[in-house]
Structure 1
Amino acid sequence: MKTIFSVLVVIVLGTSCEKVINVDLEEAEKKYVIEGEVSNVPGAASTVKISQTKKFEEENVFAGITGATVTIQVNEGITYPLPETSTGIYTTTAFTGTPGSLYKLTVSLNGTVFTATSTMPAQIVSLDTLRVVDFTFGETLKTIEPDYQDPLGLGNSYRFIEYANGVQVKRVFVQDDEVSDGLRITTPLINPDGELESGDVVKVDMLCIDTDVYKYWYSLDQAATGSSNVTPANPVSNISGGALGYFSAHSVTSKTIVVP
C-alpha cells in the first residue's frame, strides 16, 4: 500500500522561517495548525496564525485559513477579539501581556471550537549577556552562549530565538532548570547546520515560557533532529479540540553581539 506522509509546517511567528516535521501517518487527514503568541513587549501585537498540515508532496508554504473567530481572554475577565488582518493571521494591539497573567485563546472555525491557556511566568528572567564560543561538532563552529541567572525554584523554562544578520536561525533552542535550579546558566545555542563568521551581527531573544509551551518546543526539536529518545510524531500541543500547534504567553528580553 502506498504510504503518504503528512507534514506539519510550523511558521515561527513574526518571521518567514519554517520548521518542517515529517509525521509517519498513512492517509492522514489534514488538521488545523494554530500558533498563538502574547508577549510583554509594549506595542507588540498578540498574534494567532491558522493553517493546515500538508502532505509531503505539497508545496511547503504558509497557506492561511480564513474565516475564523478568534478571541483572547485575560485572567478570566476581559475578552479581546482578534480580527483577521491578512489571510490566516489574526492580531490585536488592544492589550499588552503582563507577567503572572493567565490568557485563554478561543478559536471557532467551521463549527469546531479550539481552546488553549497559557500563563506568562510571573518572574521575568533577564538575558544578562551573550558570548561567542568555539564549539566542536565534527568541526569547530562559532556558537552563541547566553548567560543568565535562573531563580530558585524548579519549573522555569526558556526559549531562545537567534537571528544572524536579521535572519532567524532555523533551529529550536529551549532550556529549563531541571538540573540547574538557582544557578547561572551558560548553555550554548548549538546549531550544527549553521556557521557564524566574524562581523556577523547576532541578536538573541530570550523568552520565559510556561511548562506546557516548553513541552511543545522540546518535542518539536526532538522530532526535527531525529533524537533517539522519541518516536517522530506531532509535537505535544497545549491546544484542545484536535488542532496542532501552540499558544504561548511569554516575557521577552534581548541582547545583540557582533561575532569577533
Structure 2
Amino acid sequence: MLFTSCKKIIEIDTNNAEPQLVIEGVITNQIGDQVIKISKSVSYDDQSIFPAVSGATVSVSDSRGNNYNFTENAAGVYALRMRGIAGVTYTMKAVVEGKTYTAISKMPTAVRLDSIGVVVNTFFNNERKTIAAYVLDPAGEANYYHFNMYVNDLQSDRVYVNNDRLTNGNNLRLQLFYSKNDDDDEGLLTGDKVAVDMHCIDANIFNYWYALSQQSGRGPNQGTTPANPTSNISNGALGYFSAQTNQRLSIVVP
C-alpha cells in the first residue's frame, strides 16, 4: 500500500472569447488569382475549423490610382485575377457585417532566391538533412523574407522568417529546419521532394510572421506564451494583408 498512488483529474476552465473576424489577404507579383479569405476565430477548445464569412464587399486600391473589386468565388474566399507591382502600395478594404476593415502594404523589390540545397547537420552523432535557401541580399536597403516549405506536397508547420539587419548585402545561407508531425520523425529523407517559396515582405508583415515563429515548432518549454500576433488590419480584426513578391524553387533530397 505504501507504493499505491492515486490520480486526480483536474479540469482547466478556459475562458472562451467571442469570435473575432480573421482576414488573410495576399497580393503577389505573379499573374493569377489574388486571394483574400475572411473567416471567424473559434474557441480555444474547439476544432480548428474556422467558419467562413460570406457576403462581404472586398476591394483593393493601389498608389497608382487603380481600383480592384474582388468577387466571392467560394464561401469566405474573395479573388481577382491580376498582378501586383513591386514598389506600389496596396490598400485593402473589406466591409463585413456593417463594419469596415482596412490594411496597407507596400510590395518590396524582389530579391533573388539564388538556389536551394541540402545541408547535413550532426546532432549527438546523428546526421540530419536540412534544406538551405541561398539568397543574394542587396546592400543599402532593409529586406524581410518569409518562406514556406513543402515536403512531398505537404506544407511544413514551421514558420520561417528572416531579415538582413545584421547581414545586409551578404550572400545568405538560411537553413529551414524540418520535422515531421508524427512520432517517427526522421526529418528529410533521400528521395523527398522539397519545394521552397520565398516571399519578400514589408516590415509590418515581417513582425507578424516573426511573432508566430516564436510560438511554432520550438518544442516543450521553448518559445513565448501563445498570443495573437499584431495585425496590420484596422478595427480589431486578426490576420494580415501582405503585398509581396513570390519565388519558388524545388529539389529532390539526394
Structure 1 unaligned spans of 5+: 5-25
Q: Secondary structure at the match of 1:241?
A: coil
1:240 matched to which residue of 2?
234
Contact 1:3–1:27 (CA under 8 A) maintained in structure 2: no
Aligned AA for 1:109? V
1:203 and 2:195 equivalent? yes
1:223 counterpart = 2:215: yes
Could you tell me how far apart the structure 2 residues matched to 1:56 and 1:27 are?
A: 6
Matches within 5 A, 1:63-212: 63-75=51-63, 77-93=65-81, 95-121=82-108, 123-136=109-122, 139-193=126-180, 195-212=187-204
Contact 2:41 2:50 in 1 (8 A): no
Q: Which residue of 2 aligns with 1:41?
A: 30
Match status 1:3 vs 2:7: no
TM-score by length of 1: 0.85
Given the superposition, is the C-alpha separation of residues 131 and 168 from structure 1 closer, same or farther in structure 2, using an over 3 Å criterion?
same
- Contact 1:32-1:243 at 8 Å conserved across structures: yes
Paired AA for residue 208 in structure 2: Y
1:39 Cα deviation after fit: 0.4
Larger Rg: 2
Q: Secondary structure at the match of 1:133?
A: strand
Q: Secondary structure at the match of 1:77?
A: coil
Distance 1:140 1:56, change over 3 A: farther
Change (3 A) 1:137 1:64: farther
Q: Is the 8 A contact 1:154 1:178 kept in 2?
A: no
CA distance in 1, matches of 2:137, 2:123: 27
Distance 1:56 1:231 in 2: 14
| SS of corresponding position for 1:45 | strand
- Matched residue count: 236
Amino acid at match of 1:131: G
Matched to 1:209, the amino acid is I
SS in 1 for 2:16: coil
- Distance verdict in 2 for CA 1:2–1:192, change over 3 Å: closer
Distance (whole Å) between structure 1 residues aligned to residue 234 and residue 92 of structure 2:
10
CA displacement 1:188-213 (0-9 Å, x = unmatched): 01124462111111111111000001
Q: Which residue of 1 aligns with 2:21?
A: 32
User: What does the per-residue CA deviation read over 1:133-170, in whole Å, with 9 as the maximum and x for residues that have no partner?
Assistant: 12345653211000011111242000111111222112
Residue 254 of structure 1: aligned partner = 248
More divergent stretch after superposition (154-163 vs 242-251): 154-163
Once the two structures are aligned, what percentage of the paired residues are identical? Answer: 38
> Residue 53 in 1 paired to residue 41 in 2?
yes
- Provide the rounded CA distance (Å) in 2 between the counterparts of 1:140 and 1:107: 49
* Offset of residue 126 of structure 1: 1.1
Measure how far apart 1:223 and its partner are.
Answer: 2.4
- 5+ residue gaps, structure 2, are 1-10
What is the identity, as a one-letter code, of the residue corresponding to 1:75? S
Aligned residue identity for 1:211: A
Letter of the aligned partner of 1:38 in structure 2? I
Task: Using the TM superposition, give the Cα deviation of residue 102 of structure 1 relative to its aligned residue in structure 2, in angstroms.
Answer: 0.5
In structure 2, what is the Cα distance between the partners aligned to 1:137 and 1:89? 43
CA RMSD, Structure 1 to Structure 2 (Å): 1.9
SS of residue matched to 2:166: coil
SS of the equivalent of 2:204 reads helix
